[in-house]
Chain A
């Protein structure tokens, strides 16, 4: 089994780091980080990750816009996107589904559980 590559797009550095530690040390996945929507788009195209964790609320380009652009690009449109979001009300959930994201992971997450959560929603075997 080759190690999975995950792209994390979040403007907060410490969240990037926690995700990175959780995924790299627990599951040996490779983690690529981006601090803005724009950087996320570039890295998604370049790295072709197996999945993208996308923060919803970011300055400049928010998660929703980033997601739309990912979808518009034939290179990145097939990559499953998981929204990493602290907005977890039902209304929000519905809106995300309507947008076509694969699923959402609520913030704050338990770092030790995060890899399992991701693998579960994507149907990956650990």
Chain B
């Protein structure tokens, strides 16, 4: 089962390492980052084929300085392998090479249809050699010893030419990119891009009609040693979009192609669109209206006072009052239309004219004046002060982050960075303010400096509030290592991560993104059985960007062994196949004791009621009609998996204590043991027993007993790390598996949890005595099977009563 719930699996560790690495890249990027000429060189992938170590090193250093992604290899054969496996934007090729020489390799590659520019490097400088090299398919030729500046310029020229661009300046609508100066502008406005954003944009602009998946972008923009995860690409795309939007370019200039990747939005569509700055301007103007609403009301009040004065002084106003009223009416007439209140402008103009008439006003005019002022007031009130949320809504809601920290400088940095991640940040200084803030706005993630809480209890109370929120709000802590240092403790508090200070805002935001991503993403194995080879080719690239791991099978006779080998979370079946049809396969699966719950989606060209009824009768979960529309299939898959996840939870979890039931827990614990063995990690098992449950049930009532069990299950669950498991082992026993924790540490931790239970219990059921026993053992020292471990833990437990 690889469907991710809010609790991530172990792969996050790998991920973390990656994202930190990536953070490092980014931050070094941002050091050199600024507008225009200072931006690093375009990030293109170059393969250097050179057997002479010093030359290879010199080239690598030079090319790295120019921000190219460089890989080196020392012989022609290895070079051919690499070129066939990966995409390069340029080859720097020595002529004299072991195994296969440069000229031969060049010829080979051209014969194989590789079109990337090739630059030959050689010590042989006569014209004949140059001619042979060029005839072999090289694009240029540099004689050793070479001038570095010249080489660099030639590489640039080749990279331009290699993509068949006659003009060195790339253009897409109003967007311009000049590779020689590395300047990017939209409608003459310069964009301050980081080197990675620049490289990304250059790649898209050089291949304007091509769709790039995250994976392809990773391959183009990073070297293999420091390739981050796909979320890095999404982050850079986000940053780029933001900067484009800041330059009044349409933010969707870089278009997401649903389920596939990114490309430049086709020019025709770009031109047809109304520019997005209109919306932004309208929002900005709405904001002015809101800020000056009080002033505008004041102007209307001046008119109301004039109206009263006309009535009380028989159509007369004194000079001052008259002048002020006329001034206000005039301003309103000139201004309300700007805010879109044209009726208001019209009314104000009429009021102005009435004020301009010779006095005294007749009774009729006074009545008219009064009526118009009243209508004006209503018109303005109907337009209302635009609330900030309205303006936000018009721009689409952004994910929100609540930061609890008193360090103003740090917050300013973070807020600044968050802009490029499309996060809205709300900041509060302490937990009281955070409590208040939560009653108004619910953020998606909370980021908290562990130092803002006066004591642990305060932190706990706060966490209680947010983890009981539906949906629970993930909390990330950061702070000094000595504050909340233990991973267990953070997990126990319900925190999703703990980041040690000092830490860069960028790094924190990456972590925020990760946590959010985790709580949303689904990773599931999908197996597709279909005899149509084109469909089997089409579906994996469609589904993989969504986190599905896809296995395909064309020959349904191999179904069973493939199913067992793949162990999918979801099955997609074609109805009509040679040998064994989809309906038969469906029946086989439904009749199998182990697999009968596997969700099955049918792909079919037959959408008539009869067929549909038949497949549902056989136990299909859903069907999607052929030809397959990508987005529809994705939505169906996600829905199916989410529902399955829910029913799995219902099936696996004990409703009273929210701990795992014993059977599913056995499977989990077996996995944990295997994992501990594979990774040579410790694994601890803790047995917690409510020893006097029977007496409690007898002396008080079953409900009291239940409430105690609920309390214990809940507290243990809260104190559990993301990889750990808590199971209700028997009516009064809980068994916990704590991955990667020594038994000493585990005992200490669980002991604390039990004390927390007792304390909470004392508050709610002071009259009911409760006794908890605790036994902790370590795998494999105390036993290699679950039953052996349980027995050992039970032995260890005897007499180890936890006291409050």
Contact = CB atoms under 8 A, between A and B. Distances in A.
B273 to A, nearest CB: 15
A3 B337 CA distance: 28
Contact of A108 (B289, B291, B334): B334
Interface in B266-316: 277-278, 280-282, 284-285, 288-289, 291-292, 295-296
Given A15-B331, A86-B333, A110 B281 contact: no
Contacts of A85: 334
Contacts of A57: 327, 330-331
A85 B610 CA distance: 73
Interface string B341-352: 010010001001
Contact of A107 (B248, B282, B334, B342): B334
**Which of the listed residues A18, A22, A112 has the most CB atoms from chain B within 10 Å of its own CB?**
A18
Contacts of B335: 12, 14-15, 18, 107-108
Interface residues of A, number: 24
Given A14-B288, A107-B337, A109-B338, A22 B281 contact: yes
A48 B642 CA distance: 65
A39 interface: no
Contact of B288 (A17, A28, A110): A17
Contacts of A108: 333-338, 342, 345
Given A1-B188, A15-B338, A59-B327, A107 B333 contact: yes
B189 interface: yes
Contacts of B333: 86, 107-108
Contacts of B352: 86
A26 interface: yes
B334 A26 contact: no
Interface in A1-57: 1, 12-15, 17-18, 21-22, 25-26, 28, 57
B71 to A, nearest CB: 43
A19 to B, nearest CB: 9
A111 interface: yes
Given A18-B339, A108-B335, 7 more contacts: A22-B281, A25-B284, A108-B333, A108-B334, A110-B337, A111-B281, A111-B285
B304 to A, nearest CB: 19
Given A25-B281, A112-B278, A14 B295 contact: yes
Given A107-B337, A109-B338, A21 B331 contact: no
Nearest to B187: A28
Question: Could you tell me the dominant secondary structure of chain A's interface residues?
Answer: loop
Contacts of B339: 18
Given A25-B248, A108-B337, A111-B338, A12 B331 contact: yes
A41 to B, nearest CB: 21
Nearest to B284: A21
A109 to B, nearest CB: 6
Nearest to A25: B281
Contacts of A111: 281, 285, 338
Nearest to B282: A112
A87 B356 CA distance: 13
A111 B279 CA distance: 12
Interface in B697-750: none
A64 B277 CA distance: 35
A59 B281 CA distance: 30
Contact of B189 (A28, A84, A87, A109): A28
A22 B282 CA distance: 9
B281 A26 contact: yes
26 contacts: A1-B188, A13-B292, A14-B289, A14-B291, A15-B331, A17-B292, A18-B288, A18-B335, A18-B339, A21-B284, A21-B285, A21-B288, A22-B285, A25-B277, A25-B280, A57-B327, A57-B331, A86-B334, A107-B334, A107-B338, A108-B334, A108-B338, A109-B337, A111-B285, A112-B281, A112-B282
Interface of B: 188-189, 248, 277-278, 280-282, 284-285, 288-289, 291-292, 295-296, 327, 330-331, 333-339, 342, 345, 349, 352
A110 B338 contact: yes
Contacts of B337: 107-110
Contacts of B285: 18, 21-22, 111
A21 B296 CA distance: 19
A14 B792 CA distance: 78
Contacts of B248: 25-26
Interface string A80-94: 000011110000000
A14 B334 CA distance: 11
Contacts of A18: 285, 288, 335, 338-339
Contacts of B331: 12, 15, 57, 86
**Which of the listed residues A12, A25, A59, A85 has the most CB atoms from chain B within 10 Å of its own CB?**
A12
A110 B335 CA distance: 10
B245 to A, nearest CB: 12
A14 B292 CA distance: 7
Contact of A13 (B277, B295, B349): B295
A92 to B, nearest CB: 12
Contacts of B278: 112
Nearest to B289: A14
A1 B188 CA distance: 9
A86 B337 CA distance: 11
A57 B356 CA distance: 14
Contacts of A59: 327
Contacts of B349: 86
Contacts of A110: 337-338
Nearest to A16: B288
A28 B247 CA distance: 10
A12 B282 CA distance: 19
A109 B337 CA distance: 7
A13 B292 CA distance: 9
Contacts of A25: 248, 277, 280-281, 284
A82 B291 CA distance: 27
A34 to B, nearest CB: 16
B204 to A, nearest CB: 25
Contacts of A28: 189
Contacts of A15: 331, 334-335, 338
Interface string A95-126: 00000000000011111100000000000000
Contacts of A13: 292, 295
Contact of B277 (A1, A12, A26, A109): A26
A62 to B, nearest CB: 10
A25 to B, nearest CB: 6
Contacts of B338: 15, 18, 107-111
**Which of the listed residues A84, A86, A87, A110 has the most CB atoms from chain B within 10 Å of its own CB?**
A86
B463 to A, nearest CB: 43
Contacts of A112: 278, 281-282
A72 B189 CA distance: 37
A86 B331 CA distance: 8
Nearest to A85: B334
**Which of the listed residues A22, A107, A112 has the most CB atoms from chain B within 10 Å of its own CB?**
A107
Contacts of B291: 14
B727 to A, nearest CB: 59
B408 to A, nearest CB: 27
A109 B335 CA distance: 8
By Cβ-Cβ distance, the 5 closest A-B pairs, closest first, are A108-B337, A107-B334, A86-B334, A14-B292, A108-B338
A21 B188 contact: no
A28 B277 CA distance: 12
A108 B336 CA distance: 7
Nearest to A55: B334
Nearest to B278: A112
A112 to B, nearest CB: 6
Contacts of B282: 112
A105 B292 CA distance: 23
**Which of the listed residues B288, B295, B336, B352 has the most CB atoms from chain A within 10 Å of its own CB?**
B288
A109 B295 CA distance: 20
A14 B295 CA distance: 9
A111 B345 CA distance: 15
A24 to B, nearest CB: 10
